[in-house]
Amino acid sequence: MTLRIYTDGACNGNGTENSIAGCGVWYGKERDARNLSVLLPLPPHTNQRAELYAVLLAIQSGFLEPRKPRRLLVVSDSKYCVLGITEWMPKWLKNGWKKQDGNMVMNLDIWKRVHACLRELHAQNIVFAIEWTKGHSDDEHNAAADRLATASILPDPSSSSSSEEEEDGEAKPGLADEDAAKGEGGGTG
């Protein structure tokens, strides 16, 4: 059995001090209790960290499932995550988590957790794969993961503010997409 999970991250104010990021994890069905819409628990809040943490949550689910899948496939619209796992991580491990330029890998706290979880999947004989899908396209499952990620960072509708403005009167920043976050920490190892 293959468990296919879609992930996405979202960030309001990406790259700013007051940014807020969240993760969406979609299991393919609307009322699946495993679907997740959560704030990123680990600062700093950036789009890439939210994307990566969503992938981490999906990987963890592989060995937490009551019926262990034989194969876990994570689908992400983040090239940073896909390339990080498939191409860059082996190089980073050889270089002590350093990129080719000698600098430490960005988001190392989450990357180390991803690596540990991938090792656990391997120990449980669960085959892991990750594939890229184009974000904001016609992939309905990616769109669902995006809705979950976005919902995690939206203001609570039961709050007293009905305005689209912050208390200080400034407009809220828009959602950042993957392209806006590109320079943040990739690198080919």
Helix (H) or strand (E) holding 71: strand 71-76
Residue 135 binned pLDDT confidence (cut-offs 50, 70, 90): confident
Of the chain, the percentage scoring pLDDT greater than 90 comes to 70
Q: What is the pLDDT of residue 65?
A: 81
Alpha-helix residue ranges (DSSP H) falling in 103-182 = 108-123, 140-153
- pLDDT tens, position by position, 140-153: 889 999 999 999 99
> Hunting for tokens 């992938």 — which residue is that?
55
- Please check the confidence at residue 133 and state whether its pLDDT lies above 50: yes
- pLDDT tens, position by position, 81-103: 999 999 999 999 999 999 999 99
Question: In the numeric block, which tokens belong to residue 10?
Answer: 């979202």
- The closest of 59, 56, 75 to 126, measured between CA atoms, is 59
Q: What is the pLDDT of residue 187?
A: 43
- Please check the confidence at residue 186 and state whether its pLDDT lies above 80: no
> Hunting for tokens 């890439």 — which residue is that?
48
Question: In the numeric block, which tokens belong to residue 163?
Answer: 């305005």
- Please check the confidence at residue 178 and state whether its pLDDT lies above 70: no
pTM score above 0.75: yes
Question: What's the order of all strands across the beta sheet hosting 20-26?
Answer: 36-39, 20-26, 2-12, 71-76, 127-132
Mean pLDDT score, 23-45: 95
Q: What is the pLDDT of residue 156?
A: 66
